[in-house]
Chain A
Amino acid sequence: MAEMSVIWLRVAAGLYSLGLLHAILMLIRRREHLFRVALGAFALGSVFHFVSIVEEGIVNHRCPITNFYETLSMCAFLIVVLYLLVHWRYKVESLSVFIFPLVFVMALVATLGNPVSAWSSPVVRNAWLTVHIVLVLLGYAALLFAAVASVVYLFQERELKTRKPRKSYYRLPPLGTLDDLISKTMAVGFVLITLAVVAGSTWAFIELKTAWISQPKIAISFFTWGVYLALVCLRVAAGWRGRKAAIMTVVLVGFSALTWAAHARLGAMLLKP
């Protein structure tokens, strides 16, 4: 991508990050403190984003949708425009929990198309990687907690639905408590995994230059994060709770396990003669 185009896109991504902050606060505190600020930043970010796309088109004398990064940037921009239009017409604030982080991550990835110089020192490189790993592990711990609570939820829900209490009915905690626990641990886990994805993709970009995006394990990570985002959005925005949400949480742990296996090169280890 052209130099100036990337700079405008970085400014836009910076403004979109306020949207991510709003989503995090909404997930953790269940209050919409920052929505107006985030929406303003989102609208302003879209202007810079538009400038970036125009700049890219003028410099290359073509529509900027010819490579992955340009397409991603264009796609993110279209989502922004569509969201602003929908919000202007229907005032659907709850959708922001899904759209804001998604657009931020898409814009962030789109800025990573131009290779940058290598790490300034190995200490910074290792520290960056350590931060990524710690965030991922903490996120997984929270997610695992949510999954265990979900399994317990499914047992207790079945007990209550069958209306014939057995031993576990007396021992397991109330559904309300479990649902609350699942929501909270999911929210904390999502925040940690999102930060881990940002840290990890930045690290991979600097480390592997433009080849980073073609790594299968990175694609799997983004996919898992996308599933996580969708689930969180379904819980917060669409009011998904109860049995379906508990099953989805368990499924998400399955995806996370796949992502972990891809990173730990479990496949290669297992296939070794």
Chain B
Amino acid sequence: MKLLITGVSHKTAPVEVRECLAFRDEALPAALADLKRREGVAEALILSTCNRVEVTVTTEDGADPRAIVDSFLADHKAVSPHTIGPHLYRHEGRDAIHHLFRVAASLDSMVVGEPQILGQLKAAYAAAKNSGAVCGWLEGLLTRAFSVAKRVRSETGIGQMAVSVSYAAVELARKIFGSLANRTVMIAGAGKMSELAARHLRSSGASHVFVTNRTHERALEMAALFQGTPVEYTRFVAMLPEVDILIASSGAPHYILHKDEMQRVIAARRNKPMFLIDIAVPRNIEPSVNEIDNVFLYDIDDLQEVVNANLRERLKAAERAEELVAEEVERTMARLKVAEVTPTIIGLQEQLEQIRAGEIEKARRKYGPFTPEQEQAIEALTRGIVNKIAHGPISEIRNHAGHPDGAHVIAAIRKAFHLQD
């Protein structure tokens, strides 16, 4: 059995090349069926995302998987081999398993640790399964890749740190409040980023959104987006004691919230913590507000600093993840080696058992019938002899599994014991 992964990714090919090779969802079943039909192909999988296109095949030992995939790509994609050749990567055998595990664990992604790739790989697997293109060995390998990805995520926490400013705001809110359930958010001003942050906070459990804007019509529009409540711009400070998270992004050229006002707000809240996100430039909130106990003020640079720190943490987690993936590849290879020699071991055991049973039957015909005690003694004696004979060759087979000269040793043992192929 041979395994080959051929593909292009954001690391090897520009988008012009990737888009030429991409498979649309609706074209996948036909492409998979065609690939599976080709001579020598056992199983096939096509992963097509905006950042990578990969064709994975397993073939019989005698087939040439490179030639099969090349002809498949030539038939389906109108691109010359010269154009895509320099961008293509190919991984075979152990390398292919390593690559598959890295891709599933999001170590080969543009943003290391992003969660989408695992979902995309699962979707590709589902499409292949529905087309009957995976049904055995490759299916087992993919299932293993999903478990590896899960292990990497849970043991390294690679996906836990936010790498966008809006998600970093949500992550900080969680660090301050714990759960965001029943927390209220106020957006002061308009803007894409504040809208995005509010949307993330809302989907993370925040219960209500207040919106205020110097143009009240704009506040009404945004409030409708979040099923929130519009607040008069002149009343927004008075509303603050009811707000847990304030996102300020107004275009005002001066501070709209000062330290003394905030001191009164926090006293009215009986010191309940408040998270202030100031993403406006020039800033909307007086920086000294952060000196007040239980008030946490972050401006756009602070959020970016958090994102940078998160990225550094992700890279550290990725190092640990690479170790885990290498460990899992070793484990999978060991399993595959054992699986490779298992039919020989079973064949040997069956052969010896057949000889043992035949000889007992002969003896029974010649000297029998035996008493139950004699039967028991003969059974124990012959089984002991057979086990001792089998022990040597079975140990050798196991020891040579996966070794370069292993195939010769196993072939010799098969020949010596007349095991059929």
Do B293 and A244 touch (CB < 8 A)? yes
Closest-by-CB residue of A relative to B291 is: A161
Q: Which residues of B contact A160 (CB under 8 A)?
A: 172, 175-176, 296
Q: A165 to B307, alpha carbons, bound, how many Å?
A: 10
The 8 Å CB contact of B161, one of A170, A175, A244, is A170
Q: A170 to B162, alpha carbons, bound, how many Å?
A: 11
Do B178 and A177 touch (CB < 8 A)? yes
Closest-by-CB residue of B relative to A181 is: B178
The 8 Å CB contact of B271, one of A161, A170, A174, A242, is A242
Q: A175 to B272, alpha carbons, bound, how many Å?
A: 11
Do B272 and A241 touch (CB < 8 A)? yes
As a 0/1 sequence over residues 15 to 26 of chain A, the CB contacts with chain B under 8 angstroms (1 = contact) are 000000000000
Indicate if A68 sits at the interface (CB-CB under 8 A): no
Do A239 and B270 touch (CB < 8 A)? yes
Indicate if A272 sits at the interface (CB-CB under 8 A): no
Do B309 and A164 touch (CB < 8 A)? yes
Indicate if A180 sits at the interface (CB-CB under 8 A): yes
As a 0/1 sequence over residues 307 to 338 of chain B, the CB contacts with chain A under 8 angstroms (1 = contact) are 00110010000000000000000000000000
Q: Which of B4-12, B132-140, B224-232, B298-306 lies at the binding interface? A: B298-306
List which A163-196 residues lie within 8 A (CB) of chain B: 163-166, 169-170, 173-177, 180
Do B302 and A163 touch (CB < 8 A)? yes
Q: Which residues of B contact A163 (CB under 8 A)?
A: 290, 298, 302, 305-306
Indicate if B146 sits at the interface (CB-CB under 8 A): no
Closest-by-CB residue of B relative to A240 is: B271
Closest-by-CB residue of B relative to A174 is: B178
The 8 Å CB contact of B175, one of A175, A239, A243, A244, is A175
Q: A180 to B306, alpha carbons, bound, how many Å?
A: 25
Q: A156 to B296, alpha carbons, bound, how many Å?
A: 12
Q: Which residues of A contact B160 (CB under 8 A)?
A: 170
CB distance from B298 to the nearest CB of A (A): 6
Q: A173 to B174, alpha carbons, bound, how many Å?
A: 10
As a 0/1 sequence over residues 27 to 47 of chain A, the CB contacts with chain B under 8 angstroms (1 = contact) are 000000000000000000000
Closest-by-CB residue of B relative to A164 is: B305
Q: A174 to B174, alpha carbons, bound, how many Å?
A: 7
Q: Which residues of A contact B175 (CB under 8 A)?
A: 156, 160, 169, 174-175
Interface residues of B (CB under 8 A from A): 157, 160-161, 172, 174-179, 270-273, 290, 293-294, 296, 298, 302, 305-306, 309-310, 313
Could you name 28 residue pairs across A and B whose Cβ atoms are closer than 8 Å? A160-B296, A163-B290, A163-B305, A165-B305, A165-B309, A166-B309, A169-B175, A170-B160, A170-B161, A173-B178, A174-B176, A175-B176, A175-B178, A175-B273, A176-B176, A176-B177, A176-B178, A176-B179, A177-B178, A180-B178, A238-B270, A239-B270, A239-B271, A239-B272, A242-B271, A243-B293, A243-B294, A244-B293
In addition to A160-B175, A238-B270, 10 A-B residue pairs with Cβ atoms within 8 Å of each other are A160-B172, A163-B306, A166-B309, A174-B174, A174-B175, A176-B177, A176-B179, A180-B178, A242-B293, A244-B293
